[in-house]
Amino acid sequence: MNPGDPTRRSLDPAVAPTALERFTCSLEASEPDFRESLDLEALQQTAGTDRSEAEAILLRRAAEEDDWRVPPAIASIGLHRAIPVMEERLPQARGRMRLALARSLVSLGALRRMDETVAAMLEDGDREEGISALAASEGLSSPEVLAALARACTHHPSPEVRVNAGAHLFCACGETRDPLAWEFRPLYLQLGDPDEARRQEAFQTVCNTLRLPQDLLVQQGGIPDRNSKQPDHRETEKGSEDEKPESC
């Protein structure tokens, strides 16, 4: 037994475990309560050398492991010296880990918002990345997210992601509060069609229903411009936002 291992201390059941021991035990995820989150209460109760040890554990795991429970724990104690580690991991991380890193960087004030991360994940082309990004896109309606959802509707390789991107587009534009946009299901289900021409036709119907500005989607690369081979990229983002309908 390694006496320096905090998970191996206080084996006597009559001795109450320390806050550090409770925290490190939660890292093992042996209990259902800690499979989605670490013992943050115990972490926040650590102090002195125990807090330093807990911080060292978090820094090491943030740098080396894909444990999405770690970034929220870092943010919960305001561990700002972990920011460079998380910023370095963010572009290479995948799925839930990438989202956890981005959320924690936002909480620590090192990242302004989640939108660019969600958009990048939608454009990755991977099914699991797309599903994770769609779950995180709820409540986001920036031009970057709208354009990424629009691209995913017609160009994502996964039919599941295309269909769900359509549902989320209705929600992002304020047309419904239902994340599944059930009342519009007949429209966005067609986005799962294997034929690209049919998908484009279905997507145009979605755009018309939502009154989405064609120029914004073209500028962001959401759909091909049928009237010009070279869209005018000189138009400012503000100009596009001015023409965007109030619902979006």
Confirm if 44 and 21 have CB atoms less than 8 A apart.
no
Helices marked H in 159-213: 159-172, 185-188, 196-210
Residues 6+ apart with CB under 8 A from 217: 146, 147, 150, 207, 223
What pLDDT sits at residue 193?
93
Quote the CA–CA distance of 2 and 79 in Å, as a whole number.
Answer: 27
Task: Say what the pTM is.
Answer: 0.76
pLDDT confidence of residue 177 = 84
What local confidence, expressed as pLDDT, does residue 12 receive?
56
Tens digits of residue pLDDT in 50-78? 999 999 999 999 999 999 999 999 999 99
pLDDT by residue for the chain (248 residues), tens only, comes to 344 444 445 455 567 889 999 999 999 877 777 788 999 999 999 999 999 999 999 999 999 999 999 999 999 999 999 999 999 999 999 999 999 999 999 999 999 999 999 999 999 889 999 999 999 998 898 999 999 999 999 899 999 999 999 999 998 988 888 878 889 999 999 999 999 899 989 998 998 898 887 555 554 444 443 343 433 333 333 343 444 434 34
Phi, psi of 192 (to 5 degrees): -85, 0
Q: Extract the tokens encoding 240.
A: 């596009």
Tokens 């064609």 correspond to what residue? 214
